[in-house]
Amino acid sequence: MANQPPLTYFTKAHIEEASNALQNLGKTERKFTLKDDLGNAIQGQVSICESERDRPTLCYHSYQTRQLIACCVLSRGDAEHHTGHTCPVWIGNQPIWDRCKHTSSTDEQWALWKKEWEKSPMCRNIKDLANGKVKIPNVTKIICFGLGCPDLDDSGLRYGGSHQQHLAACTLRDVLSEILGADIKIYAQDPNYCAAGKQMLMNKFGITIVDDPAGWLLLDAETLVMTVCPSVCVRQIACDILKDSGGPAGLFGFKIVGDGVFPPQKTLKLAWTGPQRSKAFVKWGTSENWREKMGGP
């Protein structure tokens, strides 16, 4: 069908095009043009704000969001209010909520975090990978998306502190490096990292910070993707980008429900995508499967 979106909804080309358009926005120029999932040129514009919190940024529309908005446009005829909904990646004024303390962690605080993490069941489960019989595919890097800033006052959050999530990535790195005999690096991408949080992650955790969209562009078939409670469709983007490679090496996070944004589960899981599982993983994780569930536009 002429109006049927492609089976691979997100591509690196979409992300690179939107990133270039964002970089080309001037201090006063607010208009840009991006291609939608059918290759049509769509014009948009953003507000140029002095505040760093409201600066223009990349916005990722899941396939589910595209379908839901398409239904609204068809039923209400208000397409002008949903410009760009058919573009997998768009540019918009998306607020960055600053709830950081903007303070550097002390050695005592770091030691306490590590002690709490090492006593947790999740830490023990990750370390048990070294004693398991599951064949682990080759992993050369771990890329974390949306784990939150470790400088955030998040002691009461439902999914555990951001520092615990980053420590989980570090434990995965250490265990997999031992199993595979490789030097595995960790990259992390989150627009909510503050300067103090970035320094903390680099100096204490040994994590390399990358800005959006560099994390997506670093993805390859030897990447372990980690995300806990993202505000963007991390699994969908990662699996679409790497569909031809059989998906990423693995995924650490909650079971995929819908577009995977703010998942309701309480138990984190680690899934590998070795030769025996890659096909099923990709079918579940990419836009092709969601089209089967929701129907095309």
Question: Going residue by residue through the chain (297 aa), what tens digit of pLDDT does each one get?
Answer: 445 555 678 999 999 999 999 988 876 568 899 988 888 898 988 876 666 566 788 989 888 777 776 666 555 555 555 567 778 899 987 766 666 666 666 778 888 888 988 988 888 888 888 777 677 889 999 999 999 888 765 544 444 578 889 999 999 999 999 999 999 999 999 988 888 889 989 999 999 999 999 999 999 999 999 998 888 889 889 989 998 888 899 988 876 665 556 555 555 666 666 544 444 344 444 445 444 444 433
174 touches 257 (CB < 8 A)? no
Q: What angle do CA 21, 208, 144 make, to 5 degrees?
A: 75
List, for residues 254-273, the tens digit of each pLDDT value.
766 655 565 555 556 666 66
Number of H helices, E strands in the chain: 10, 10
Q: Enumerate domains of the chain plus CATH numbers.
A: 12-93 (no CATH), 107-294 (3.40.50)
List, for residues 150-172, the tens digit of each pLDDT value.
876 554 444 457 888 999 999 99
194 touches 102 (CB < 8 A)? yes
SS3 130: helix
Closest to 137 in 3D by CA, of 222, 218, 219:
222
